[in-house]
Structure 1
Amino acid sequence: MSDSRSDTLSLPVDVAVIGGGISGLWLANRLHRAGYSCVLLEARELGEVQTLHSQGIIHGGLKYALGGALSSESEAIAGMPDRWRQLLAGEGEVDLRGVSVLSQTQHLWSAGSLASRFTTFFASRMLRGRIDKLAFADYPAALQDRRFRGAVYRLDDLVVDTDSLVSTLAAPIQPHCLQVQVSADQLHWHEQGLAAITLPGVTLQPRRAILAAGAGNAALLDDARRAGLSPLPDTQLRPLQMVMVAHAQPLPLYAHCIGASNKPRLTVTSHPLPDGRMVWYLGGDLAERGVGLSAEALLADARQELATLFPWLDFSTAEWATTAVERAEPRQGSLAKPDNAFAEAQQNLIVAWPTKLTLAPDLGDRVAALLSAQGFVPQHPQPTLPDDLPRAHPGRAPWMTAFGDRHD
């Protein structure tokens, strides 16, 4: 391959971050605040692929206790809600004071069967005061009907608005966020990692490169392997097909519905629209089953599920839509979910996945520890990028794309 860098502006930079979802934005913010020069490259809009499709739940692993025991996964993330609350108050390594909190708590309710009530009760006994059983008067409004049968618990989790999260993380680093689809011939590798990234008129020369591109990490890692870097992690995908229900009922709900199994039958979060309506965003087992269904079949399934769980609510005038999510993470045995955030260094390359939105602070800690272990300290000033290079800007949540442009 010929080198086309001779007639371009060479810009040294401490760190190049490839990927503009929660992991790339979080790491770029943390590095920027720590004094490192940093450039972020994103092929699409910031947060568009996974982060803005998230339900925004910042959980401490409580839902993983539904099988009757606290797993290593739930123990590892138990402190995340408190960690996020500190950051939301402006205390910590990333400033999240601009993020809107949709709910300070998450709820858990049983669907009413003997098996589901037992599962929920048994889980609550394992949680050592981290979950409270509620009286009927304290139920979320959507569940305050005398036809409801089951039990409701309040969890020490919170739900953040993903639009404001992406915008808040983008704001301090916006001039350094480039919208570019980096192709293989623009990446110049050597035995130590990524030596240069060729852009129109500019060649970035990063001292470290962080691959934080979610599902896009797979192709980037293939390029790195061809350049001789090894061993490098493999990628696995766990897809979902989420359902969005736009309705006019003033009933915000942030809750997991538990059936007889050890995972949520349905997870509901609520998101306001500009026209005053509200979207119920439906995840859980419904979204996992939806991967194998057509959109029409999944919507029929969702209508039946809401009719079964909320027979007192009228969704006859609601608008319905689906959206696909492709969650990406490091490959595990039997495609199991990873226990923690993931960061691994190979020479001057770091590969990163948060694995869950809630674990973004843990990812930051892991990357910071890797850099510290390598004795990596800030060296170059923040480069001034040419104005004609396109900047990446925050994307839109899927419910805004589906319903937010409606004009009455």
Structure 2
Amino acid sequence: MKLDTVIFGGGVAGLWLLDVLSRRGQHVVLFEAHELGSGQTIASQGILHGGLKYTLQGILTRSASQIREMPGIWRKALLGASGLPSLKNTTVRSEFCYLWHTQSLSSRVGMLGARVGLAVTPEKLAASERPDCLAQVPGGVARLGEQVISPCSMIQDLFHQYRDRILKCDTDHLEFELDSPGEIKAIRVVDPQSGKELRLRPGHVVLTAGAGNAELRARAGLSTSAMQRRPLHMVLARGDLPELNGHCVDGAKTRVTITSDLTSQGERVWQIGGQVAEDGVGMEPVDLVAHTISEITDVLPGVSLKNTQWSTYRVDRAEGAVSGGSRPENIQLLFAGNVTTGWPTKLVLAPVLAEELSQAIQSHEPEHRFDPSSLTDWQRPFVAKPIWESQSDWLDYPVSSPVRHVA
């Protein structure tokens, strides 16, 4: 089968690109080795950042400059606007986030986003406008128009639209035929369920598999040192908790970032990131939970943590390598032969990566529409469950004498 593009990796980057290329008439398929969204996408908190967290030092960093238009693009996609992926069936957890400080949220911070040209800027709230969970915060509170989506529902939304082009194939059932390093002449794949074999002749091959890009690059004869991993150790809490989506900032740091959803049993669940997830990389789960509870108690006075259970999960942020292993300022693309490797760096930047990739791999106008009927019987991947649904080890509050529960 001759194809314009073959995509490997079914997270937000690969699926957004699949949508863009499909709407432009390309003959394109996407392969996922595990579950759609597994890894970074499903582990993300789903905040559609507008760049404020990158301006806390008072300057418009490259990261903030690149990201500032993203909330508007995503908002249009969530409304089903033409020219973008239709995400009308994606769950929006919240239309905004809160921003608060444990001491004082100065007017300088409140005006900072506007001064450096961000599209989404904080709106300071009067005491009467605060939600109950932030009522006792001694510092200022602002509202920020950053939507929060459910990554799981977004993946499901795109999968339902492009199921005929999305196939399952792990690396044990994959072989690249190379003309030279980075020049893939053909791809041989085997359906792991039926044993059916398929030989594809792609014009372009795009790797958007996150951490999986390293192995795929090796198979394509390319260097694996082009990728770095920056670990996080995130925290989950479930139980009698208020709905909250927002950031507590201290100086130029995001002390905690909390997002909320409901479990399949209808319990409130928090995902907790920010500085605690950075600090937690070297901690054992029980120690990180204890540290996080201490932080939450400090930044959310008056919020009871009774009747809650806690867990943690680790995730690597796979990115193109940067000197010193620091955070990349932008999306990253590597070109070699007919192979392109991409890392969006953040979920919200997937549209930028897809647009740049689609411009780089423009192909001829196809003579006929793509017919995926020959792929009908091929195994399809499942969509990854929300991260808290796969956690089996939970600690009762308080954690000084934890009792473990198997979900």
Q: 1:133 offset after TM fit, Å?
A: 1.0
Query: The residue matched to 1:94 in structure 2 has which SS?
Result: coil
Partner residue in 1 for 2:198: 202
- Aligned counterpart, 1:144: 135
Q: Which residue of 2 is the match for residue 234 of structure 1?
A: 226
- 1:211 partner letter: L
CA distance in 2, matches of 1:282, 1:31: 35
Q: What SS does the corresponding residue of 2:143 show, helix, strand or coil?
A: strand
Q: Do structure 1's residue 245 and structure 2's residue 237 form an aligned pair?
A: yes
**Residue correspondence of structure 1 range 339-358 to structure 2 within 5 A:** 339-358=329-348
Alpha carbons of structure 1 residues 216 and 237: separation in structure 2 relative to 1, 3 Å: same
Distance 1:395 1:70 in 2: 36
C-alpha deviation, 1:93, in angstroms: 2.3
> Partner letter of residue 372 of structure 2?
P
- For 1:177, the equivalent position in structure 2 comes to 166
What is the total number of aligned residue pairs between the two structures? Answer: 383
Paired residues of 2:164 and 2:376 also in contact (CA < 8 A) = no
State the 1:344 CA deviation: 3.5
Aligned residue in 2 for 1:3: none
Q: Structure 1 residue 319: deviation in Å?
A: 1.1
Q: 1:90: how far off? A: 0.9
Task: After superposition, give the CA deviation of every residue in 1:362-407 in whole Å (9 maximum; x if it has no partner).
Answer: 11111122123xx554467333344553211211011122379x99
CA contact (8 A) 1:23 1:360 kept: yes
Residue 30 of structure 1, CA deviation: 1.4
Please give the residue correspondences for 1:118-197 in structure 2 after superposition, counting only pairs within 5 Å.
Answer: 121-128=107-114, 130-145=121-136, 148-183=137-172, 186-191=175-180, 193-197=183-187
Q: Aligned-residue CA RMSD in angstroms?
A: 2.4
Matches within 5 A, 1:35-54: 35-54=25-44
* Whole-Å separation in 2 of the counterparts to 1:301 and 1:36: 50
Which residue pairs with 2:295 in the alignment? 305
Structure 1 unpaired stretches of 5+: 1-10
Identify the residue that residue 60 of structure 1 maps to in structure 2.
50
Separation in 1 of the partners of 2:59 and 2:345?
21
Task: Please say if residues 104 and 159 of structure 1, whose CA atoms lie closer than 8 Å, have aligned partners that are also in contact.
Answer: yes
Deviates more, 1:235-244 or 1:272-281: 272-281
1:94 aligns with 2:85: yes
Counterpart check, 1:399 vs 2:395:
no
Identify if the C-alpha distance between structure 1 residues 125 and 185 changes in structure 2 by more than 3 Å, giving closer, same or farther.
Answer: closer
Aligned to 1:328: 318
> How far apart are residue 23 of structure 1 and its match?
0.9
CA contact (8 A) 1:19 1:41 kept: yes
Question: TM-score of the superposition, structure 1-length normalised?
Answer: 0.88
1:273, distance to aligned residue in structure 2 (A):
1.8
Q: What SS class does the counterpart of residue 69 from structure 1 fall into? A: coil
Post-superposition Cα deviations, 1:241-271, rounded to whole Å, max 9, x if no partner, equal 110000223x2111111124x1201000001
Contact 2:164 2:375 in 1 (8 A): no
Equivalent residue letter for 1:28: L
- Identical amino acids, percent of aligned pairs: 33
Q: CA deviation at 1:222?
A: 2.4
Q: How many angstroms apart in 2 are the aligned matches of 1:291 and 1:46?
A: 25
Q: Is the 8 A contact 1:244 1:322 kept in 2?
A: yes
Equivalent residue letter for 1:131: P
What CA deviation, in whole Å up to 9, does each residue of 1:6-33 have, x standing for no partner? xxxxx22221101111111111121112
List per-residue Cα deviations over 1:144-166 (Å, max 9, x = no partner): 23xx2001111121111111111
TM-score w.r.t. structure 2 length? 0.88
In the alignment, what sits opposite 2:399? none
Distance in 2 (alpha carbons) for counterparts of 1:132 and 1:52 = 30
d(CA) in 1 for partners of 2:304 and 2:282?
A: 28
